Amino acid sequence: MHASILHILNTTKTRIQTLGPHKCPGSLQTQFEKRDFISAVEYAKAEGRVPVIAEVKPASPGKTFREVSPVAAAELAWEMEDAGAVAISVLTEPGVFRGSLENLQAVRKMVCLPVLRKDFIIDRMQLEEEGSDLILLIAGVLEKELGSFVELALEKGFEPLVEVHNREELELAMETVTKIIGINNRNFETLKIDLGTTEELAPLIREYDLDHGTRHIIISESGMNSAEDVRRVIQAGADAVLIGSALMESDSVSDKTKEFVQSFCWRE
């Protein structure tokens, strides 16, 4: 695992220790009704649009895009929603990615779309911190605990998005009851990006679904900078794409989101 990922996991453990032993009464998810991400994806496809999960991403390992306050996060999310995104992803990891739970809360109040909390979830207490419609669970981080985290997320009212980077992690994901699998094109060991990861893994998920009578939503994550990139991963079998850096680096988040949303037509 890359040093920067290990660093994030270590700082996440420290962050969790500051939460203390308290437990929130009940689930925070009771504060609102979960917005249906799976239906949103299917609806966008039926309309001939690319289901884009647009990400409010202040920074990535080694690169800061911009400081994002809760007010700025909400404004960015509104632009993304207005441009046709099907969901908003919000980084809440505060160290390397410079995200915050306050950003997540502000975005969820601003938009009508499903909102994904993107963080390194390693402790059950994190599922008590803040409500969201979807929550990221990373197979390579949780490993054997993945299944129990998926079930706990569902119990708490979250839709789990299980992220995989290779075949071994995909096998772990398939053993869980998740309906959504994210294929991260960024290698955990080297941080290099290869869209071929989606081309390798997406057909395996489709094959599994055919054999088992199941249906997974496949999301391609990381490394899409152009309409051509988006078409490539969709033709490989992805249902949706998660895009952060390309949006945050663009002169117009709205125009760039529209470009990705309109980059492929599902209609024959």
In the prediction, which pLDDT does 25 show? 40
Angle between the 101-110 and 70-82 helix axes, to the nearest 10 degrees? 40
Question: Is 247 within 8 Å of 256 (Cβ atoms)?
Answer: yes
Per-residue pLDDT of the chain (268 residues; tens, 9 = 90+): 665 677 777 777 777 776 654 444 444 444 568 899 999 999 999 999 999 999 999 888 777 788 899 999 999 999 999 999 999 999 999 888 899 999 999 999 999 999 999 999 999 999 988 889 999 999 999 999 999 999 999 999 999 999 999 999 999 999 999 999 999 999 877 888 999 999 999 999 999 999 999 999 999 999 999 999 999 999 999 999 999 999 999 999 999 999 999 988 765 4
Q: What share of the chain is helix, strand, coil (3-state, %, to 5)?
A: 45, 15, 35
Supply the pLDDT for residue 46.
Answer: 93
Number of H helices, E strands in the chain: 11, 10
Reported as a single tens digit per residue, the pLDDT across 192-204 is 899 999 999 999 9
CATH tag for 46-261 (out of 3.30.70.260, 3.20.20.70, 1.10.10.10, 3.90.940.20)? 3.20.20.70
Domain ranges of the chain: 46-261
Single pTM value for the model: 0.90
Q: E strands, the chain, where?
A: 52-56, 59-60, 63-64, 87-91, 115-118, 134-138, 159-164, 180-184, 217-221, 240-243
- The β-bridge relationship of strands 217-221 and 240-243 is parallel
Strand pairing partners for 220?
Answer: 183, 241
Confidence (pLDDT) at 23? 45
Residue pLDDT, tens place only, 26-54: 444 445 688 999 999 999 999 999 999 99
- Which pLDDT does position 185 carry in this prediction? 96
Whole-angstrom Cα Rg for the chain: 17
Longest CA–CA span in the chain (Å) reads 55
103-115 per-position pLDDT tens digit = 999 999 999 999 9
